[in-house]
Structure 1
Amino acid sequence: MTEDGPVNAQPHDELLSIGVFAARARLSPKALRLYDRLGLLEPAYVDEVSGYRYYRVDQVERARTVALLRRLDMPLAGIAEMVRLDGERAALSLDAYWAGIEERFAEQRTLAAYLRGRLSGRNAELYATFEVKTVDVPETHVLSETRHVVAGELAAWIGPSAERLEKAAKECGGIAAPHFVVYHADVTEESDGPAESCVPVVDAEAARAWAAAQGRASDAKVRVEPAHRLAYTRITKAQVAYPQIIAAYDAVEAWAAERGLTITGPCREVYFADWGRSGPEDEVCDVAFPVSAG
């Protein structure tokens, strides 16, 4: 082993200099040096005296594969993992990566359409598609779990947190109302909230006793949710996805502003349907803000 790379063979006619190999692989020598440092494509031989790198002809295919994966904007770390897999597993890994890319493109396409309307001042037409109502919610005790999460982590946290809290609620007289999530600060790809997952319970005394028994062994807390009025709009499972849900929040805010109502608390999502059994067009969630007159 030398400072520049492994010595796996003595140079001979079958080995290619880095310049010749770079031309065949359609890569620059600079890129080949980087791939060597990252373990993506090590030279077959490095001259101990000159430090020159040499490659085998059969390494051209791997080099071209790495170059093509980079054209898909795949991170070098991901490429390093993929090229270590056998053919079928590598193909499945690529499928998973590209599915994620297409999902992000779909989100960005939707967001771009929304922003186009926002910038042009035509979003009022979009807001009109959401029916906004109000409902009075009585004071209740809730079991809650608060977590700092970014947008990409929400789905993996909301469902399991609801299951944990609903299981605990059975020891607190039962579930009094649907599970909801309160966003105490923005949850985006750059901002991590926090968000609070809440399940209203029937028996406040039992809830306090349960929390005391858990001590620090549980992330769940018990608190009082004050009585309040909610302005809300009901959305489908497909609309819950980010960024589609942004339009629903903006529609409720615009509706409240038009009627002179003051938003008195953080936004929330109330999940009233069985998520797993619901289809894309089924209504599953209320997007809501606490409001008051004046």
Structure 2
Amino acid sequence: MSARVSIGDFAVMTSLSRKALRHYHEIGILQPAHIDSHTGYRFYDTGQVDHAHIIRRFRSLDMSIPDIKALLSTDDATTRAEIITTHLEHMEKQLQQTRDTVGELRELLSPVDTPAFVTVRREPALPVWSIRATLEESGIDSWFSASVNTLRSAVAATTGAPSEVVPGGLYDRALFLESRGRATLFVPAPLVGQPPEGVRAEILPEAEFAVLTHPGGHDGIDRSYAALGIYANEHLISDQGPIREHYFGGTQSTPTTFTSTEICWPVFSTTPPTP
């Protein structure tokens, strides 16, 4: 048998403050059982305690108000399980992101290591198909994904079959310095055929680089950039040309998921160009 109780008693039973109860009333997820028309006092029913506990618990776990409304409005066990499972998966993802962030912060407590595996390499002139744009730093990711797919499709359409494509990128220093600059994504040009509209054919000039291979894509790549930059400036003569990257391990189904990223830092040439 349920009983009507004052808002004060209900707050004690549910650990929800007057402010929280008023808010949940206003947004429609926990209505008072009765509101006195003369005083405006809110009264609740003891049968509402379980709902109040559900709301408080899931709000403490950052479940959204729409999901809580959906949870409370259904008696279907499958639907409830789906809502809770989806939120648990979201929490697990956030937990992993927190773990990754903690790992990165711990790494920052140690100085940048100057790697022993930097190589100096002269890249010959390379015919490529490319897409170029002037971008804000915040827009690079979406442009990168679209450009990789465009270049892969262009090569596949020309060669008649999907092929293993190793894309590369050129990034002006203005992107790092001013958060806006020119970026170029490229793939080695097929032996036959012409690039489609929107893709240009060009030849990357011969250049010399200090090269470091970073595992994976761009997660944590700032530390690899730091290590390579230290090496290039302490042991070589840094050139101010664009930074070059090569992306390995992408597939047709996951074209922007890479097993490694080769960072190429331009350095002043110490060897004569190839005749």
TM-score (normalised: structure 1)? 0.67
The within-5 A match list for 1:9-48 is 14-48=3-37
In 2, distance between residues paired with 1:109 and 1:27? 33
Counterpart amino acid of residue 168 in structure 1: A
| Cα contact 2:130–2:202 (8 A) shared by 1 | no
1:170 maps to which residue?
156
Say which one has the larger Rg: 2
In 2, distance between residues paired with 1:269 and 1:68? 47
* Cα RMSD, aligned residues only: 3.9
How far has the Cα of 1:30 moved from its partner?
A: 0.9
Please point out which of 158, 162, 168 is paired with 1:180. 168
Alignment CA distance shift 1:221-1:276 (3 Å)? closer
Please point out which of 190, 198, 216 is paired with 2:186. 198
Q: Does 1:288 align with 2:253?
A: no
| Cα contact 2:3–2:46 (8 A) shared by 1 | yes
Number of residues paired by the alignment?
Answer: 251
Deviations 1:75-100 (A, max 9, x none): x6x24324414321122122222122
In 2, distance between residues paired with 1:173 and 1:277? 18
Q: Does 1:97 align with 2:85?
A: no
How far has the Cα of 1:106 moved from its partner?
A: 2.0
How far has the Cα of 1:112 moved from its partner?
A: 0.6
Deviations 1:7-26 (A, max 9, x none): xxxxxx73333222221111
In 2, distance between residues paired with 1:195 and 1:83? 46
The within-5 A match list for 1:65-214 is 65-72=54-61, 74=62, 78-85=64-71, 86-117=79-110, 122-124=111-113, 127-128=114-115, 130-144=117-131, 150=138, 154=141, 158=144, 161-171=147-157, 178-182=166-170, 185=175, 197-202=185-190, 206-207=194-195, 210-211=196-197
Alignment CA distance shift 1:249-1:19 (3 Å)? same
Q: Does 1:234 align with 2:227?
A: no
Give unpaired runs (5+ residues) of structure 1. Answer: 1-12, 212-219
2:75 maps to which residue?
none
| Cα contact 2:164–2:251 (8 A) shared by 1 | no
How far has the Cα of 1:130 moved from its partner?
A: 4.8
How far has the Cα of 1:181 moved from its partner?
A: 4.1
In 2, distance between residues paired with 1:59 and 1:268? 62
How far has the Cα of 1:250 moved from its partner?
A: 1.2
Alignment CA distance shift 1:176-1:101 (3 Å)? closer
In 2, distance between residues paired with 1:35 and 1:137? 67
2:236 maps to which residue?
260
| Cα contact 1:132–1:232 (8 A) shared by 2 | yes
In 1, distance between residues paired with 2:67 and 2:152? 39
Give unpaired runs (5+ residues) of structure 2. Answer: 72-78, 271-275
In 2, distance between residues paired with 1:150 and 1:42? 43
Counterpart amino acid of residue 179 in structure 1: P
Counterpart amino acid of residue 212 in structure 2: T
- Percent identity at matched positions? 22
| Cα contact 1:133–1:232 (8 A) shared by 2 | yes
| Cα contact 1:180–1:268 (8 A) shared by 2 | yes
Deviations 1:25-64 (A, max 9, x none): 1121112222333444333443444333333323322322
How far has the Cα of 1:116 moved from its partner?
A: 0.7
Q: SS at 2:108's partner residue? A: helix
| Cα contact 1:130–1:251 (8 A) shared by 2 | no
How far has the Cα of 1:108 moved from its partner?
A: 0.9
Alignment CA distance shift 1:18-1:113 (3 Å)? same
